[in-house]
Structure 1
Amino acid sequence: MKVLEGIRVLDLSIAMSGPFAAMKLADLGADVVKVEPPAGEWQRHTAAGGADGNEVNASFLSLNRNKRSISVDLKSEAGLDALRRLVASADVFLQNYRPGVARRLGVDYESLRAVKPDLVYVSISGYGETGPYAARPGQDLLLQAMSGALHSAGRPGEAPTAAPFFLVDAFAAYSAFEGALAALFHRQRTGEGQLVQVNMLDAIIAAQMQEISVRTVGGVAQERSERIHAHSYIRAPYGIFPTSDGHVALSFAEPAVLAELLDEPRLAHLEAERDGFTRRDEISALVEEGLRRRTTAHWLDKLGVAGVWCGPVYDYDDLLADPQVRHNESFVSYDHPTEGPVTTPGFSFRLSGSPQTVDRPAPVNGQHTREVLRDAGYDDDAVARLEEKGVIHASPLAEN
């Protein structure tokens, strides 16, 4: 039996943070019903990195496995009534609308709590439900830029460089997932539902627990280095260094050890904790000079044997071919009815007694509309009438 088997989740979210959080609940066995408009969630139709897909793009596939899809017009009274019926048998309701939209649609916490008093209602926003920035667009890059994190790496005078993936969306998703689980546990003990509020700004601030505390507790300002250095609050050498044919990642190496390995006596008298911060540009320059003399393979072998923390710098093709990644089965593969073979990142944790599996591919829009409405008590004639009026959409792939 899976951990969340018997738990029903209504996922009204779009883009990444909400769908990712809902998918993690689905992977644990929850029955996650993705509620989409008749045209489908916009992410279905927005190319991810140019990967258009046949009918469903790669981004949507990656964030919506193990879900069912119902396609319904919530702007119609009949559609809203259908949603309320679903809420009556739901445990978790998740949305990431802009502040105020849920209330206008009639699907805010107070409205739905009247339907299901013990509902766990998860709301994800960009900056918070209220406050001076509440109406701002909660987009990942904008939150990265505001978070302060981008001034912890790079060189003075150069533009800060953002993370090359949706870092803030991911942290917000994990926060929503964690909050939903905590609220479900609370409900199990007390019988009480509650509102879980997550915002992307708080999520990325909390993720920098150590770094920001160095500033707030230790009073140490962020100071970027002139030389290669990946983090302003970590001693040198620390970063991605060029070799004669590529790059190598290097962290927390003792200068005296590197002095021997790189044949660089100028490092021999430097002490890691004493000089690693105050003379980090000098240390980084000497390390860079030494590593450029030989190949990446040479340094990974020589540094590794000496116990120096080092590693390869991969692209995605390298990652997919790596033996540890293959051993861990870090990716999952399945067949999709319109996209064919699909491979995406798998599960971030494993449970020995309740393994996570891909039981459903990411649904096509409205694939389970009839099925879900029947679960809510609609008979076949009522479903057919809603379909005729355009209140709902049922995919041709749906089973009758």
Structure 2
Amino acid sequence: MKTLEGMRVLDVSIAMSGPFAAQKLADLGADVVKVEPLAGEWQRHAAAGGARGNQVNASFLSLNRNKRSIALDLKNDSAREVIHKLVETADVFLQNYRTGVAERLGVDYETLRKINPRLIYVSMSGYGGSGPYATKPGQDVILQAMSGALYSAGREGEAPRPAPFFLVDAFAAYSAFEGTLAAIIHRLRTGEGQLVEVNMLDAIIAAQMQEISVHTVGGIPQMPAEEIHAHSYIRAPYGVFPTSDGYIALSFADAPLLASVLDDDRFLQYDVERDGFEKKDEISRLVTEGLAKNSTEHWLTALGDAGAWVGPVYDYDGLMQDPQVAHNNSFVEYEHPTEGRVKTPGFNFRLSASTQEVTRPAPLAGQHSEELLAELGLDAAQIAELVAAGAVHQSTVLQPASA
């Protein structure tokens, strides 16, 4: 049995954070119904990295497995009746509309709780539902920059460098997933539905629990380094360093170890617990000088055998070939009706008493519209009438991946 089997989630979200949160609920067995515009959700048409598929791009595939799709024009009164019927059957409603949009479409919390008092309503936003930034769009790199995190790494005098993935979107998705599970537990105990609010700003602030507390409690400012150093509040050496043929990642090795492995007694003048902060540029400069004398493979072995915390610096090809990644089954593969064999990141946790698997590929827009309407009790004539009126879209017959 799957953990959330028997529960229905209406996913009315777009882009990354909302669909990612809903996918995690789907992976636990919830019947996640993706409610899309007639032409499909925005992410279908915005291919990250230019990775466009036959009919479904990689971005959409990565965030929408294990879901069914119904395509509705929520500005249409007939479609609004359909979404309200779906709400009657739902346990969770998840949206990340801009402030005021849910009210205009008749799918705000106050409206839907009257239809289904047990409903868990998850509202995701960039900055919160009220306040001076409530109407601003929440975008990942903007929130990264605002979060304060970018001044905890990098070199002095150089522009702050954002993370090379959608860091804030991911933390917001995990926050929504966590909040939804908490609300489900609350409802199991009390029978009450509730509003769950998640915003990207609070999510990325909370993710820096330790770093920001060092500043607010310890009073220690962020201090970018002149030399390689990856984190303002961690002692040197700490970062990604060049070797003679590539790079390695090295985390706060002790001075005697560095002196021995790098054959450089200059490290012995440092007490790394003290000097690792105050003289981090000097230490990092010596590490950079020493590691440049030999290959990545040499240093991974020599430093690793000596007990240093050291590791490779992969691109995605390297990651896919790593033996631990293979052992963990970190990726999942499945057949998609238009995209063929699909391989994407899998599940970030394991459960001993329930299963997680890909049972549905990411759907085409409105692929399950007729199926879902039939489940609501509509007959073929009523469904045809909705399609003809432009309230509902049913996707065309699927083409084989080779077409």
Q: TM-score range by the shorter chain?
A: over 0.9
The 2-side partners of 1:322 and 1:235 are apart by 28
Partner of 2:401: none
Q: CA offsets per residue over residues 259-284 of structure 1, 9 Å max, x none? A: 11101111012111111101100000
Separation in 2, partners of 1:159, 1:396: 49
What is residue 353 of structure 1 aligned with on the other side? 353
Instruction: State the TM-score, normalized to the length of structure 2.
Output: 0.98
3-state SS, counterpart of residue 250 of structure 2: strand
Instruction: Report the AA paired with residue 366 of structure 1.
Output: G
2:312 maps to 1:312: yes
In the alignment, which residue of structure 1 is the partner of 2:188? Answer: 188
Partner of 1:107: 107
CA deviation after TM superposition for structure 1 residue 10, in Å: 0.2
Pairwise CA distance, 1:243 = 0.3
Residue 364 of structure 2: aligned partner = 364
Query: Partners in 2 of 1:7 and 1:335 — Cα distance?
Result: 25
Decide whether the 8 Å contact of 1:256 with 1:270 is kept in 2: no
- Aligned equivalents of 2:366, 2:118: Cα separation in 1: 28
Are 2:287 and 1:263 equivalent residues in the alignment? no
> What is aligned with 2:397?
397
**1:246, CA displacement in angstroms?**
0.3
Whether 1:164 aligns to 2:129 is: no
Instruction: Tell me which residue corresponds to 2:298.
Output: 298
Tell me whether 37-46 or 163-172 shows the greater mean CA deviation: 37-46
TM-fit CA distance, 1:352? 1.2
1:1-400 alignment, distance < 5 Å: 1-397=1-397
Superposition RMSD in Å: 0.7
- Asked if 2 retains the 8 angstrom alpha-carbon contact of 1:93 and 1:120, the reply is yes
Distance 1:53 1:79 in 2: 29
Query: In structure 1, how many angstroms separate the alpha carbons of the residues matched to 2:19 and 2:397?
Result: 22
Equivalent AA in structure 1 for residue 394 of structure 2:
A
Please tell me the residue identity of whatever aligns with 1:302: A
Counting aligned pairs with the same residue, the percent is: 69
Report the secondary structure of 1:93's partner residue: strand
Distance 2:163 2:376 in 1: 43
TM-score, normalized by length of structure 1? Answer: 0.99
Separation of aligned partners in 2, 1:27 and 1:71: 22
* Contact 1:334–1:358 (CA under 8 A) maintained in structure 2: yes
Q: Distance in 2 between matches of 1:147 and 1:227?
A: 24
Aligned to 2:115, the other structure's residue is in SS state coil
Quote the offset at 1:85 in angstroms.
0.2
**Cα displacement (A) at 1:397:** 3.3
SS of aligned partner of 2:48:
coil
User: Distance in 2 between the 1:278 and 1:204 partners?
Assistant: 28
Secondary structure at 1:49 match in 2:
helix
The size of the alignment, in residue pairs, is: 398
Q: Distance in 1 between matches of 2:308 and 2:214?
A: 26
* Conserved? CA contact 1:256–1:271, under 8 Å: no
Alpha-carbon distance in structure 1 between the residues aligned to 2:163 and 2:27: 27
Tell me how far apart the structure 2 counterparts of residues 302 and 93 of structure 1 sit (CA, whole Å). Answer: 53
Q: Deviation per CA, 1:61-86: give whole Å up to 9, x if none.
A: 00000000001111010000000000
Name the aligned partner's letter for residue 68 of structure 2. Answer: R
